[in-house]
Amino acid sequence: MKAIRVHAFGTPEVMRLEEVPDPAPGPGQVLVRVRAAGVNPVETYVRSGTYARRPALPYTPGNDAAGIVDAVGNGVVGVAAGDRVYTSETVTGAYAEFALCNASRVHPLPASASYAQGAAVGVPFATAWRALFQRTRAVPGETVLVHGASGGVGVAAVQIARAAGLRVFGTAGTADGLDLVLRAGAHAVFDHRSAGHMEEAMAASGARGFDVILEMLANVNLAGDLKILAMGGRVVVIGSRGTVEIDPRDAMARDASIVGMSLFNIPDADRTAVHAALVAGLENGTLRPVIGREMPLSAAPESHVAVMSPGAKGKIVLLP
């Protein structure tokens, strides 16, 4: 099969399209013929070699694939050749024509969702769901600010929160992004490139502040987030690319909580719950992953530049 291979950590160009042997499913494993693979920022951190998790070289990047089950190993029940699926983790990498997965990491992809949409689910939608309901315990009727709502995780969070009955506010950095966030279901949107956007958001909350903030760039926004939380508010750090200085008194004054999360830490029982909810949302149409850009597998280097550039419009996916 053709697969993207990384032989040395470094710039996007270290990713090369190569011929490698087709993987075969062992006991408990599923082989997926990949129709689309999602590109996540974490894959750029891993590729650069600066991330805490460094796979053994050479490796194929990617967690999120969607496609058709090609074959299953001994002992696999509930998944069969020909099934449409998306993955939440792979053994051999998603940027390839085939991806080997443990059976528990393969989930049904409803007919109403395209393969590109399926490739947008594994990391982004699971992160958004876990942030909202397992880390900050958001409940219907609360207000949520999705700070960075135009990307993969943000669009997912807006759709999930809106479907669950929260009052949803989102931010983006371009006109197209703001429009996308509104169409995803936000009640109001703000431009995070505008200096006054925190104050605008606070005013839109009726000066009460937000019960929950999902933060995609904590090193830039965390200090300001603490000032626009409601009493008992929770901010969950999903993304951060540096350090930040905060005034702890802003948290004290509001009985606020700052929680972190890494999807890598999710316990199996929580993962099962998350994907049951996501499959249901895809089936009933409340979750509709938005694809901003489709690129051929050979354009993996360009996709890594694109995912780290401003102006997000949903997900970037690679098509083998």
- Binding residues for ligand NAP, rule: CB under 6 A, are 40-42, 123-124, 127, 147-154, 171-174, 177, 192, 216-217, 220-221, 238-239, 261-263, 307, 310-312
What is the number of the residue whose Cβ is closest to ligand NAP?
151
In 3D, which of 114, 161, 149 has the Cα closest to residue 317? 114
Report the residue number, 71 or 128, with the smaller CB distance to ligand NAP: 128
What's the token pair of residue 198?
């925190």
Cα separation, 195 vs 197, in Å, equals 6
What's the token pair of residue 185?
């279901």
Least separation in angstroms between residue 149's CB and ligand NAP is 6
In 3D, which of 231, 224, 177, 168 has the Cα closest to residue 197? 224
Report the residue number, 98 or 169, with the smaller CB distance to ligand NAP: 169
Torsion on CA atoms 198, 199, 204, 205, rounded to nearest 10: 80
Least separation in angstroms between residue 266's CB and ligand NAP is 8
Least separation in angstroms between residue 38's CB and ligand NAP is 9
Report the residue number, 31 or 42, with the smaller CB distance to ligand NAP: 42
Q: What strands, in cross-sheet order, belong to the sheet with 167-172?
A: 188-191, 167-172, 143-147, 210-215, 229-237, 257-260
Least separation in angstroms between residue 236's CB and ligand NAP is 9
What's the token pair of residue 257?
């909580």
Least separation in angstroms between residue 276's CB and ligand NAP is 19
Give the helix/strand (H/E) hosting 270.
helix 268-284
Report the residue number, 64 or 97, with the smaller CB distance to ligand NAP: 64
Report the residue number, 23 or 151, with the smaller CB distance to ligand NAP: 151
